Structures are given as C-alpha cells and as structure tokens.
Amino acid sequence: MKALWKVLLLFMLLASIPDLPASWKASTDPCGTSTQWDGVTCDKGRVTSLDLSFNTGLGGPLPAAIGELSQLTTLILIGCSFTGGIQDLGNLVQLSFFHFNKNQLTGNLTGLFNSSMSLEHILFDNNQLSGPIPPELGGITTLQILRLDKNSFTGQVPTNISNLVNLTGLNLANNKLRGKLPDLTSLTKLKVVDLSNNSFDPSVAPDWFSTLKSLASVCAYPYTASWGVAQKDSGGAPQLKGARFFSFDELKNCTNNFSESHEIGSGGYGKVYKGMIADGTTVAIKRAEYGSKQGAVEFKNEIELMSRVHHRNLVSLIGFCYEQGEQMLVYEYISNGTLRENLQARGIYLDWKKRLRIALGSARGLAYLHELADPPIIHRDVKSTNILLDDSLKAKVADFGLSKLVADTEKGHVSTQGYLDPEYYMTQQLSEKSDVYSFGVVMLELLSARLPITKGRYIVREFRIAIDPNDNDYYGLQSIIDPAIHDAAKSAAFRRFVQLAMECVEESAARRPTMSSVVKEIEMMLQNEGLSSSSSSVTEFEHAGQATADPYSRVVAENGSNSSGGISEEPSHPETQH
C-alpha cells in the first residue's frame, strides 16, 4: 500500500508537468519491471531517485507533491524551466542529492532545511533566488557540496557555515553578499572555494587562504589564492595549486632529454612525449613549439581553467612547466591510443556495443564541458584523434582548451578540416553547436571506420546521399559501414544512431541537438541493445573529486611509436588544420 501511495503521489506531480517522457505515458507503474520510467529509480516498489535533468519543457511551479516523496535519496532537476518558489521539504529526510541548478526559481530558501536532513549536495546555482542564506544550512553537517552562486542572495554568510566540516566545494559567487568573509578555517576537506563578485568588507586575505592544505582553488575577488608561490626559477609564472608544477629538469630526465624514443605524437601545440615521473606515474608531456608559446598571463589563465575541469571522460591535466623559456603540459597517460588508431590500424576489435559505449563516453565528456563546466568550455577541435581509449576502452576526450593555448590562430583556434562547422565559414565564430557538428562526424567514423575526407570524398555527403529508409537491412549503407559491424545494421539502435549522427551534422547549427540530448539518445540506444549505460546523463557529474558513491562521483568542475597509445596529437593524415 505504501508503494502504491508513492505512485499516486508521483501522478500528482505529473498532473502539473505538460511534457512527459514517453516511458511515463507507456506504463502506469514507474517502478515496473518491464517499462521503468526514464529518470526514476525504485527500491522495493518505492521511488528513491528522480532525475529529469535538462528537460527544458518541464516548467512552471514545482509540484508540492515532491515534498511528500519521503523515500527519495536523489532529486535532480538540473536545467529545466521550473519557476516560482520551493515548497516545504521537511519530509525529505532521506535525501542526499538535491540539484535544482539552472532553472528559473525565485523567492528565498528560508525554512526549507533542518539539521535532521542528511544532504550531501545542495545545488541552487544559476537561478533567481534572493534573501539571506539560511543559517539552518550550517546544521547539515553531512553536506559536501554547496552551490548558491549566480543568484541574488543578500546579507552576511552565516557564521555556522564553519560547522560544515565535510564540505569539499563551496561556491557563493555572483550574489549580493556583504559583511566579513566567512571563516573557513575548520573546513579541512575544502578543495574549491569561490566567493567572488560579492560586496564583502575590504580586508587583508584571511589566514585560511594559505593554511587550508586541501584547497586546490580559491577565488574571492579582490583576493585570489589560486596561484601560490613559484618554485625555483619559473620565469614569472607562479605555481598553480590545482595542478602540480614540474621543473624543466624533472621532465627532461623522465623523457631522456626529450629523446625520439619517448616521442609518441605531434600536432599544432608541439611534440608529445611519454615519461615516468618520480612517483612512478606514467604521463604524457606536451612540449610547446616556439610558434605555439604565449605570454605568462594567458598561459596561467588557460592552465587554471583546465586544472579545474575533471570528468571521467576527459583526460586529466596533472601539471605544467613554465621555466627556462619552456611551456609544457603534463597529462595522465592513456594506454590504448586514439579512437582513430583503434578504428583503422591498431587491431583492437571494436564491436557495435563497444562503439556505442565509446560514443556515449565521448558525448558525456563534451556535454560536461558545455553545460556544467564553469565557465562553459567549447572544445573547438573534436575529432577521432582527440578521443583516447584507456585500458578498459573507456573514452576520454583530450585537448579541450588547447586550441586557445596555441598562439598562432592559423594553427589552432578552429577545428580540423573535415570536422569544421560549415557555419564557421560565414560567421567566423565557433559555438557549442560547432562541437556537436564535429562529434557527428566522429559518429560517422564509428559507423564507417573511414577518415572524414578520403580521396576528395566527404563522409557527411557520402552518408547523406546513401541513406535509404526503405532498406530494412542496411538503411542504404551496406557499402559504407565498417564490415566489422555489418551484423548490427538491422538493429533499431543502429538506425537511430545514424539518424542522430545526421542530426548532429545539420548545416544549420540551430537544428542540431545539444550534447546533453545526444547523451540521452545514446543511453536509450544502449538500453535498447540490452546494455546498461552505467549511469544517467546527469549522474555522470561529480564535484571536487571526492571518491564517493554519489551521482557526482564520476565528474568535477573546479579544478614515435603510437603503439604505446599515449596522448596522441594528429598523426600523418590528409586533413590539414586551419
């Protein structure tokens, strides 16, 4: 009876939402074994998780019935269009993850929280909330992430925020807060703090700026502590606390003086070397060539941005070197090389399901850059050589931000030929939808194992001409698709994958989907193939790098011989870079 009551409460919620997911219409039981509702997770017939993120058609006032789902542990409504205030949440005592960011909520948060709650994440950033920050938040000592940035909160930061000893991420930026900067000395797990663009009292930087050893980044303009004291002779570039500083000698030694035997690739930024640093970690080192170097301020700004972005499907920046006239980036080493190598030459068999998973992982990384990184990041050079595969063939997107680090705009600021958004030729501007176009080309590579341009023939045009909806066997693509996946061509997921790729490469940017929409589509394809997509499109995102089993435990927004498979730049291929 209790389970039925929870279902009835959900229907009360549905009554005020105009655009329902298809699976919600197909079944009257959100916890059904045959057709479980998208975004709903159940335990013993009870709804425990509700995730309707990035559904802009979901709007209007939040249904009061949400507050009655007492078994909820996860409530994620990121990027919808909900308006108005928030109802009483007092019954949600089981709730751990409360994500309402990127909506249009108004009013204040007074009276919503109490110390009996066991919340770990509270995300209200990018709304239109106002009033004071409620002191009741200081009583929720389980809290790990608190984001109230980009609202209109006023008054002082409650002093009892110092009770949040488990906090790893705190963002109160872009509000109207006043008074003294909060004392965060007791928050010894804190990794990322942003208090910038408020109206705090002028004062010297507080001691906790330098005494909290866990901090990777602090921004509290006019105070800035993201960059610490320089090590040795850094040529004017201080050390970034969010990424390790490497001396020139360290990187010289671990690459045998940058010998050819350690070289694993090259590209617009420079040569790439494989090395092992002192702690035994294998890394990939990108060494800027003369024409790719830029000023210290620009280099620091870009490195700071890249060091704050972490996601399981993005290649991680470990550190950098800026001394003796050198500019080098040190990345995690990815063992199985690039997607292009694996599709064409490496001999690792990628069946249809592996290709779906690679597409999903790559899409998740890009969706994170576009929609959850702060500020959002346009990759600008999405291609199959910038998608790397680790030991388990998990996809990791590489070189985001590098196009902005290349000083010569002729070489690095726009996509490689064959992947370039056709609208760029008219506007000379790149956008998130430019990345979507490039990703669509990568999807066509996954289908065909062909280069984007082969003997003057463009892969997008070849697919567009060949597609035949009346061909029930191969969709008109028998002569184009990779023989290794011919058997998959008759599946519904295959046909939908082709259709989605063609939507991504629409001539008009306005007609292309967002990367988050692409993620959800590919997740559905995996489900239709009888496979798990591991987690939902939203639960790929984590904050502050904590190793927990929460929805954000996979992501954070703060901070030669190609057979070795390291981070690879563009090998010898017919495309040219602009």
Annotated binding-site residues for ATP read: 286
The dihedral over CA atoms of 111, 68, 550, 374, expressed in degrees to the nearest 10, equals: -50
Residue type, 515: M
**Distance separating alpha carbons of residues 215 and 237, to the nearest angstrom:** 19
**Distance separating alpha carbons of residues 82 and 52, to the nearest angstrom:** 11
Concatenated DSSP letters of 326-360: EEEEEEE--TT-BHHHHHHTS-----HHHHHHHHH
Task: Please say whether the beta carbons of 395 and 522 come within 8 A.
Answer: no
Task: Please say whether the beta carbons of 191 and 169 come within 8 A.
Answer: yes
Residue ranges for the binding site? 286
**Distance separating alpha carbons of residues 99 and 552, to the nearest angstrom:** 11
Give the residues across from 99 on adjacent strands: 76, 123
Task: Please say whether the beta carbons of 477 and 486 come within 8 A.
Answer: no
**Distance separating alpha carbons of residues 146 and 158, to the nearest angstrom:** 13
| 497 phi and psi angles, rounded to 5 deg | -60, -45
- 381 catalytic residue (yes or no): yes
Residue type, 24: W
Q: Where are the beta strands (DSSP E) in 85-221?
A: 97-99, 104-105, 121-123, 130-132, 145-147, 152-155, 169-171, 176-179, 192-194, 199-200, 217-220
Place of tokens 């940017």: 509
349 dihedral zone (left: phi>0; alpha: psi -120 to 50; beta): beta
**Distance separating alpha carbons of residues 404 and 397, to the nearest angstrom:** 16
Helices (H), 131-216: 208-211
| 4 phi and psi angles, rounded to 5 deg | -65, -40
Q: Which of 38, 51, 125, 381 is catalytic?
A: 381
User: Before 30, cis peptide (omega within 30)?
Assistant: no
Active site residues: 381
